[in-house]
Amino acid sequence: MFEGLTGRLGDIFDRLRRRGALSEEDVGAALREVRIALLEADVALPAVKAFVAGVKEKAVGQEVLRGINPGHMVIKIVHDHLVELLGETSEEINLSATPPVPVLMLGLQGSGKTTTSAKIALRLKTREKKKVLLASLDTRRPAAQEQLKVLADQVGVASLPIIPGQTPVQIARRAMETGRLEGFDVVMLDTAGRLAIDDELMAEVVEIRDATKPVESLLVVDAMTGQDAVTVATNFNERVGITGIVMTRIDGDARGGAALSMRYVTGKPIKLLGVGEKVDALESFHPDRIAGRILGMGDVVSLVEKAAETIDREEAEKLARKMEKGGFDLDDMLSHLHQIKRMGGMGGMLGLLPGLGKVKEQIKNANLDETVLKRQEAIILSMTKQERKKPDVLNASRRRRIAQGSGTTVADVNRLIKQYQDMSEMMKKMKKLGRKGLMRQGLS
């Protein structure tokens, strides 16, 4: 969902990290880039301004205090600010009222309101063991009430019987009455949408609100609509009042800055995310997770930090070029081992890399410490030039000779060759990430 912003910020922090120290000027330059990146990610201008100002204030202040590892510090501050802006905790639906608790569903036509109502009903039923009644107040689209009934049947919750000719407010009152009489915990009221905000719609929704006094008024917005979603949220919040936001089509949104701005301009929490068409495609909103995704940080960031500090740039570039050509041989492995030694062991480095579970496991099992690294170095140095270039030629007799020459055993040699094969495999995987991905992960 946030790939665009992630990539952009990744580039910026990459540039930052290549410098020795981070001056105030650098902070300013980085924040200009952050600002552009956020705007390109469809974050609303007021939110961007507030964000950048907040980060700047903290960054400069902290630099005076500590003045160490500034790149890392800026990332941390940007991350913390994103979390703050997105809302610190994951908030679930508030049901703290005497049942039946009215939950009003709001939003434009096509935003995913009806689907989301069914998704929430299913969630409340399965997770909280609530008895939920679904009611469609959409009297405009002839099939709307039927559509909700079909969905209600699908998720196994009750729906209000359809009585033709009633107004939305009449249906809402009847739903609440049914809820009371039949002992429902929650009554979900799915209002009619429009193609755009209009006064008639707002008046209708306000009337329903006043008749039912909802505990939650959840606005459903389509994340794909970016800035428009923010306008919709502002309008609904000002004219009807909302208690939370559900963003749908997160599965399809490439920019996702709307999440940031929506939270900022309405001050209302994003409570849930719709991540697909199926009735169970609904997720809780975790600000730290989203912020982490935006920055692509977490473990990868620590890895880049570590790698940038220790890896010899030229050697790394050479290795990257080789890997691009697909020609990773034992000489390369040797130079890689030198780098690893400087980085405090392979376990430490690979432990930071995501998506390499199998290799990580093997390395851990191999218990790679300094002595192992030394032994491996000795094994490779006992090979001929040709053997290092073409490890395929390493048959049993050659392996015996190498073991003798390096003062190790054939089993040690076999292990090293196996490890070389695993690494080549890993390099191929890394190659798929592309040159840029590699650089960012500090392995180039």
Structure tokens at 80: 């913390």
Q: Which is nearer to ligand GDP, 232 or 300 (CB)?
A: 232
Task: Give the strands of the sheet with 270-274, arranged side by side.
Answer: 158-159, 132-136, 186-190, 101-106, 216-222, 244-248, 270-274, 282-284
In terms of phi and psi (left: phi > 0; alpha: psi -120 to 50; beta: otherwise), the region of 292 is alpha
Which residue in the set 10, 71, 104, 115 belongs to the binding site for ligand GDP (CB under 6 A)?
A: 115
| 313 vs 358: CA distance, rounded Å | 28
CB of 277 to ligand GDP, least distance (A): 4
Nearest distance from C-beta of residue 179 to ligand GDP, angstroms: 21
- 39 or 254, CB closer to ligand GDP? 254
Kindly identify the residues of this chain, within the stretch 245-304, that bind ligand GDP according to CB under 6 A.
248-249, 251-252, 274-277, 281
Q: Is 168 in the site for ligand GDP (CB under 6 A)?
A: no
Write down the least CB distance from residue 224 to ligand GDP, Å: 9
Nearer to ligand GDP, 71 or 226 (CB): 226
Give the number of other CB atoms < 10 A from CB of residue 316. Answer: 21
Binder of ligand GDP out of 10, 193, 292, 442 (CB under 6 A): 193
Nearer to ligand GDP, 83 or 187 (CB): 187
- Whether cis (ω within 30° of 0) applies to the bond prior to 100 is yes
Question: Comparing C-alpha atoms, which of 26, 192, 204, 226 is closest to residue 109?
Answer: 192
Residue with tokens 């300094």: 370
Neighbour tally for 347: CB within 10 Å: 16
Nearer to ligand GDP, 5 or 151 (CB): 151
**Tokens found for residue 82:** 């994103």
Residue 113 near ligand GDP by CB under 6 A: yes
Helix-strand-coil split of the chain, %, nearest 5: 60, 10, 30
Nearer to ligand GDP, 8 or 119 (CB): 119
- Which of the 8 DSSP states describes residue 344? T
Q: Which is nearer to ligand GDP, 119 or 336 (CB)?
A: 119
User: In degrees, to the nearest 5, what angle opens at C-alpha 416 toward C-alphas 412 and 418?
Assistant: 115
Q: Quote the least distance from Cβ 56 to ligand GDP, whole Å.
A: 36
Strands (E), 82-225: 101-106, 132-136, 158-159, 186-190, 216-222
For residues 426 and 323, is the Cβ–Cβ distance under 8 A? no
Annotated binding-site ranges for GTP: 107-114, 190-194, 248-251
Site for ligand GDP (CB under 6 A): which residue of 62, 69, 90, 109?
A: 109
Alpha-carbon torsion (57, 62, 68, 69), positive or negative: negative
Which residue's Cβ lies closest to ligand GDP? 274
225 binds ligand GDP (CB under 6 A): no
Total residues in contact with ligand GDP, by rule CB under 6 A:
18
Under rule CB under 6 A, residue 112 binds ligand GDP? yes
Task: Return the residue of 17, 100, 101, 111 that touches ligand GDP, per CB under 6 A.
Answer: 111
Q: Which residues bind ligand GDP (CB under 6 A)?
A: 107, 109-115, 193, 248-249, 251-252, 274-277, 281
